[in-house]
């Protein structure tokens, strides 16, 4: 990543530029002024209150694929977060639900260690719009050149380093590449922080190929990077034992999508749609301007579901005001595809506004989505990931429903799941229902991938592939996919 860390420990939370102003790319200082630049002594405190034996024992229990080695520096970070920055840990606990389901889905897709999700905490503090003074941006802190290398668009209007799905997928690819290069996860993490070239130089100077062997030959912030990751992994599991609890957990906002082509004034649209700018940019962190240019083609934007009915009813007036000319561009509406209990979705084609699905569908489709509780008894050889994939749910939800901390499950354990059922025109739709079954479709747009489509409609990638009988992971523009 070759980042120049602001804080000597590599903690960049709250020290970066956030938000959108009225100018094209203006930035404002981060609002969280409680997190400030601090110099931390890395020696173990003489009056340490967390027993070394306890930290050693717990790290050994937590270790999965990535080594979680005990070291005095790691111990110092554990106590630093407990006693000096418990507010940071608390905030991570409150915000993790916004991104951990996405992280876990991507890590499973690329067969990566699940504990890598904690790396984003020390990279960005789970702030998708954060940017360092060195220019690294997003949840995974990509420098501009590296972001472009991994296919993330960056111009005066859009910076896809701030897009949670695209940046997480890029981070998985980059970390996997680094692990192949060094054959060691600790070394891969160090290279993610300071760049593979600097790690290789430290290897040549030290004559070692392990992280602790090259430790004294690395920049100070990189020496602290791996211990920070280990300490944060510890705290995310044992925070309650140290009196740190989330108070106001944040969860993903339910959203619908609109597809925009041509010039579009985002602030005018938000104001007339009764959408707050905070909500709009929270749902669309990759948008870094107040407008989209006339060259925009089929760009997907998220809007809060609670505003969608108002927007749909007033779309003509809103559209006329938000565009330079209503004849220069068009917009497609897509309905709420989030997994919601007892929600009602209404999609309507009127004039130049058409549903982003099957163009031959009836003018109006009303679908009621409900959930039902089902049980699954764990069989030999099954994992949480396989069970989640089988039922088309996220691993994170499966763990949350069953109050599971880790990913280990025993044969014979009874798990509870919540499956979604669909009612159409007053009756439940099943495979055995008589008459026509109304299916939902998605027409593949430029830049779409299976993962972004799955995220958009709140379904599992493996389920999307299964119902469309896809063997690979590629889709082509214009391809019609069954959503469910």
Q: How many angstroms separate the CA atoms of 140 and 129, rounded?
A: 10
Residue pair 112/175 in contact by the 8 Å Cβ criterion: yes
Reply yes or no on whether 123 is catalytic.
yes
Q: How many angstroms separate the CA atoms of 413 and 404, rounded?
A: 12
Q: What is the CA radius of gyration of the chain?
A: 24
Q: How many angstroms separate the CA atoms of 76 and 89, rounded?
A: 15
End-to-end CA distance of the chain: 39
Q: How many angstroms separate the CA atoms of 381 and 387, rounded?
A: 11
> Beta partners for 442?
481
Would you give the DSSP letter of residue 478?
T
What residues have CB less than 8 Å from 293, skipping those under 6 apart? 157, 263
Catalytic residue chosen out of the listed positions 108, 115, 123, 455: 123
CA angle 417, 419, 423 (to 5 degrees): 160
Residue pair 99/126 in contact by the 8 Å Cβ criterion: yes
Q: Is the dihedral of CA 429, 335, 297, 302 positive or negative?
A: negative
Residue pair 473/466 in contact by the 8 Å Cβ criterion: no
Q: Is 458 helix (H, G, I), strand (E, B) or coil?
A: coil
Residue pair 157/287 in contact by the 8 Å Cβ criterion: yes
Catalytic residues: 123
């Amino acid at each position: 990543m070759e980042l120049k860390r602001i804080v000597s420990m590599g903690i960049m939370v709250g020290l970066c530029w956030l938000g959108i102003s009225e100018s094209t790319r203006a930035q404002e200082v981060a609002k969280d002024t409680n997190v400030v630049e601090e110099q931390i002594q890395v020696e173990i405190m003489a009056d340490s209150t967390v027993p070394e034996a306890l930290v050693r024992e717990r790290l050994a229990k937590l270790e999965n694929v990535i080594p979680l080695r005990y070291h005095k520096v790691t111990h110092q970070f554990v106590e630093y977060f407990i006693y000096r920055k418990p507010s940071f840990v608390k905030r991570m606990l409150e915000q993790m639900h916004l991104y951990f389901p996405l992280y876990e889905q991507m890590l499973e897709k690329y067969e990566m260690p699940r504990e890598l999700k904690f790396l984003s905490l020390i990279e960005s503090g789970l702030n998708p719009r954060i940017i360092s003074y060195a220019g690294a941006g997003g949840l995974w802190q990509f420098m501009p050149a590296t972001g472009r290398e991994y296919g993330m668009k960056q111009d005066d209007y859009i910076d896809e380093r701030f897009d949670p799905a695209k940046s997480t997928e890029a981070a998985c690819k980059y970390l996997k590449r680094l692990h192949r290069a060094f054959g060691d996860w600790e070394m891969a993490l160090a290279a993610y922080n300071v760049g593979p070239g600097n790690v290789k130089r430290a290897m040549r100077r030290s004559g070692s190929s392990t992280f602790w062997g090259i430790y004294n030959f690395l920049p100070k912030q990189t020496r602290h990077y791996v211990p920070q990751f280990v300490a944060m992994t510890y705290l995310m599991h044992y925070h309650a034992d140290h009196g740190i609890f989330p108070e106001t957990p944040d969860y993903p906002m339910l959203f619908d999508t609109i597809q925009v082509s041509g010039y579009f004034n985002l602030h005018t649209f938000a104001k007339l749609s009764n959408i707050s700018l905070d909500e709009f940019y929270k749902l669309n962190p990759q948008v870094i301007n107040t407008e989209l240019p006339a060259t925009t083609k089929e760009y997907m934007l998220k809007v809060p579901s609670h505003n969608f009915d108002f927007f749909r009813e007033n779309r003509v007036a809103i559209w006329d005001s938000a565009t330079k000319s209503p004849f220069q561009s068009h917009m497609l509406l897509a309905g709420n595809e989030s997994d919601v209990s007892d929600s009602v979705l209404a999609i309507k084609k009127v004039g130049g506004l058409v549903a982003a699905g099957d163009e031959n569908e009836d003018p109006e489709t009303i679908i009621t989505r409900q959930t039902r509780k089902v049980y699954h008894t764990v069989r030999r050889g099954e994992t949480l990931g396989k069970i989640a994939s089988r039922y088309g749910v996220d691993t994170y939800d499966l763990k949350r429903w069953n109050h599971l901390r880790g990913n280990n499950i025993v044969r014979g354990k009874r798990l509870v799941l919540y499956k979604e059922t669909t009612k159409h025109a007053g009756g439940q739709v099943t495979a055995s229902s008589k008459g026509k079954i109304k299916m939902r479709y998605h027409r593949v747009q430029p830049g779409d991938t299976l993962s972004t489509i799955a995220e958009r409609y709140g379904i599992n990638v493996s389920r999307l592939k299964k119902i469309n009988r896809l063997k690979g992971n590629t889709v082509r523009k214009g391809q019609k996919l069954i959503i469910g």
